[in-house]
């Protein structure tokens, strides 16, 4: 039940975000005097609508977004009634059109920033000092968390009957103990714990030195046998190695909370890092298409592949089901920020495409004026339709791929 509630809640959050996106267009357009004739949440058949002034507001049956109709978005639009010619959007100064067309993305950015600021004061934001790669993780002190069992290979699953119990637990070690030696070999960090275990005979008895609450101690336990790839080559061949049945407890907290004022600076840093990560993700999108196809055709799903709204909602449901609300909020923040950036790409039919054309027209008119040549006028959108259709086709195929992958081979944060 909590999973279904989480999925519905996240989907509702996306719908509200998109509706506010369209409201951003509408409100800025109205503020400048442009004529807005329709504002609807959803698509398809109309459930209900009402009219206030010159604008019809309503709800449609398919809750997959929303739209608002601004009269005369392009010179080729034929929706301008007699007497409204001066209110056609394309006739307004380029800076006003830019504000109107970017208002949707600005709304998404505002939602992401506000949610991040709230998260900074409640759940916390990612710690910038948190270990982010294998080298940093291995340099951490070998503070352990006792596992329930030792799995026989690299396949992740819950413990089952017949799995070897954790040697660390059997030897009396406890969560939070820091391993200091194995068979007399000093252990200074988690990386040395791994390499020393690999050098120890599987199934042998080992003497484990540790520190607990500032007091040194030692215990003996029989190491389990498992199969793992080489430490420095996760894709290499698996061999039998020793296992202690422990995980690492990181000394640096993953999330840090802040007061209202300090949260402003932390939010700025977090959003800046997200902007860099989003730009890098957009650059890598083309190379992710083969990985999506691989996942659809039965291969393992790479956690770094793109997800659709369907996949994001499922992850939101998993987060709620596991009481991981911080993950739910981070998903909401990331998705809103990504949509905001993506929508500003200079491609039709995205808002960024309209903005790019508006400034191209302005720049071209300036150049022609300096050359004392007649103003070439507005861009003919009809001539750009073939390129627009190509963008729509590519976007549609990519969306279909991500949705299919999310259905047949979804990414999961909490393996069952």
Catalytic residue numbers read 22
d(CA 284, CA 2): 34
H or E element: which one contains 403? helix 381-408
Tokens describing residue 413 = 């944060």
Question: First-to-last CA distance in the chain?
Answer: 16
CA 413 to chain centre: 13
User: CB-based contacts of 1: which residues, under 8 Å, 6+ apart?
Assistant: none
d(CA 29, CA 22): 11
Please spell the DSSP secondary structure of 47-88, one letter per residue.
EEEEEETTEEEEEEEEEEEEEEEETTSSTT---PPTT-GGG-
Instruction: Report which of 134, 338, 119 is spatially closest to residue 231, judged by C-alpha positions.
Output: 134
d(CA 215, CA 177): 10
Residue tagged 């019809």 (tokens): 56
Please state, as a whole number, how many other Cβ atoms lie within 10 Å of the Cβ of residue 361.
19
- Backbone angles phi and psi of 16, in degrees to 5: -65, -40
Angle at 119 between CA 116 and CA 123, to 5 degrees: 150
């Amino acid at each position: 039940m909590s999973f279904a509630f989480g999925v519905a809640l996240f989907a509702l959050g996306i719908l509200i975000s998109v509706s506010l996106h369209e409201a951003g267009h509408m409100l800025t357009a109205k503020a400048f005097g442009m004529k807005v004739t329709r504002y609807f949440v959803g698509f398809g058949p109309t459930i209900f609508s009402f009219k206030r002034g010159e604008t019809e507001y309503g709800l449609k049956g398919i809750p997959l977004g929303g739209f608002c109709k601004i009269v005369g978005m392009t010179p080729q639009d034929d929706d301008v009634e007699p007497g409204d010619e001066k209110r056609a959007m394309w006739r307004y100064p380029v800076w006003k059109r830019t504000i109107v067309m970017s208002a949707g993305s600005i709304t998404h950015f505002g939602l992401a920033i506000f949610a991040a600021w709230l998260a900074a004061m409640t759940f916390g934001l990612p710690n910038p000092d948190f270990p982010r790669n294998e080298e940093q993780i291995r340099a951490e002190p070998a503070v352990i968390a006792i596992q329930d069992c030792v799995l026989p290979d690299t396949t992740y699953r819950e413990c089952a009957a017949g799995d070897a119990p954790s040697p660390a637990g059997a030897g009396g070690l406890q969560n939070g103990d820091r391993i200091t030696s194995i068979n007399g070999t000093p252990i200074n960090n988690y990386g040395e714990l791994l390499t020393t275990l690999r050098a120890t005979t599987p199934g042998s008895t080992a003497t484990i030195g540790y520190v607990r609450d500032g007091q040194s101690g030692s215990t003996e336990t029989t190491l389990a046998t498992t199969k793992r790839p080489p430490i420095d080559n996760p894709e290499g061949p698996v061999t039998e190695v020793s296992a202690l049945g422990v995980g690492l407890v990181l000394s640096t907290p993953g999330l840090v909370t802040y007061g209202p004022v300090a949260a402003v600076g932390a939010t700025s840093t977090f959003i800046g890092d997200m902007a860099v990560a989003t730009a890098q993700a957009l650059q890598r999108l083309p190379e992710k298409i083969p990985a999506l196809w691989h996942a659809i055709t039965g291969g393992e799903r790479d956690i770094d592949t793109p997800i659709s709204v369907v996949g994001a909602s499922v992850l939101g449901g998993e987060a709620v089901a596991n009481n991981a609300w911080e993950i739910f909020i981070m998903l909401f923040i990331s998705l809103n920020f990504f949509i905001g950036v993506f929508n500003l790409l200079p491609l039709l039919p995205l808002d960024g495409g309209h903005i790019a054309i508006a400034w191209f027209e302005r720049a071209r008119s300036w150049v022609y004026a300096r050359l004392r040549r007649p103003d070439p006028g507005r861009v003919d959108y009809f001539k750009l339709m073939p390129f627009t259709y190509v963008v729509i086709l590519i976007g549609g195929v990519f969306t279909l791929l991500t949705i299919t992958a999310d259905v047949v081979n979804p990414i999961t944060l909490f393996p069952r």
